[in-house]
Amino acid sequence: MKLLRDLCASFAYFSILPVPQSGERPGKGAIVWLPLVGGTIGLIAGLAGAGIFKLSAFWSYPALIATWILCIALSGAIHVDGFLDCCDGLFAMTSPQRRLEIMHDPRHGTYALVGMMLLGFGWFGALNFAAPVPALPMLLAFSGIASRAFAAAAARVLPWPALVIIAPMIAYYQGQLWKPLCALGAGALAALLTGLFAWRRLGGKLNGDCYGAIAVLSEVTMLYALGFLKIYR
């Protein structure tokens, strides 16, 4: 029963998908299930894009735009918001304590606006580069699970469901096994560098905004890595 409550709490807090809500912030038990939330969001967004593309091959860019919007919207933009808060706080030339105060401010400043513009172009480019639109459901489920697993690990929570789910997805590639493993490595490196940068700028601590930035940047990195490795091309 506790597993089910934690699962519902994870979906309620980290997505807009309809599940029973308690209104409380998620604890470690809920964060364990964060990779499953990410994988579900990626799968739904990818299926929507593939469905639009199936109507007409000329609709590839509208399909990619819809996929990108759903990746953000279905999460309630919670990870993107964390990324934007990090842009404002971590790049401010001030003390670590003041950076934390800036990150807690709900308003976004210049750094966030620039960061959103760069992220938008980068994320859309990653979707376009990663694979043909019909292959996006699988890849976005993969990157959604892994990126949230990195964020959970940064929060010192063992995301064991991610290991159970992602193992058969990797095994699916058989002779190309090294490709998804390399993509995971690229995502892990992006997560590590993001976490280290934030840790240093905040005086040796991380917060929820940092975990959101880790999730976003590691996912985009993995999509580019999957495209570079031509896993579906």
Q: Is residue 123 part of a domain?
A: yes
The pLDDT confidence band at residue 132, using thresholds 50, 70 and 90, is confident
Percentage with pLDDT > 90 across the chain: 71
Asked whether residue 22 carries a pLDDT value surpassing 70, the answer given is no
Domains held by the chain: number: 1
- Please report whether residue 194 resides in a domain: yes
In a domain, 233, yes or no: no
User: What pTM value is reported for the model?
Assistant: 0.94
Residue 92: per-residue pLDDT: 93
Q: Is residue 136 part of a domain?
A: yes
CA distances to 12, 146, 212, 214 from 191, in Å: 24, 10, 10, 5
Q: What is the mean pLDDT of residues 149-155?
A: 96
> Could you tell me if residue 132 is inside a domain?
yes
- The token duo for 53 is 């593309």
Tell me the two tokens of residue 150.
Answer: 């990195």
Q: Is residue 64 part of a domain?
A: yes
- Written as one letter, the residue type at 202 is L
* Average pLDDT score over residue span 54-78: 91
Range of the domain at 145: 2-228
Is it the case that residue 24 has pLDDT exceeding 80? no
Pair 132, 233: CB distance under 8 Å: yes
Least confident of 29-38, 48-57, 63-72: 48-57
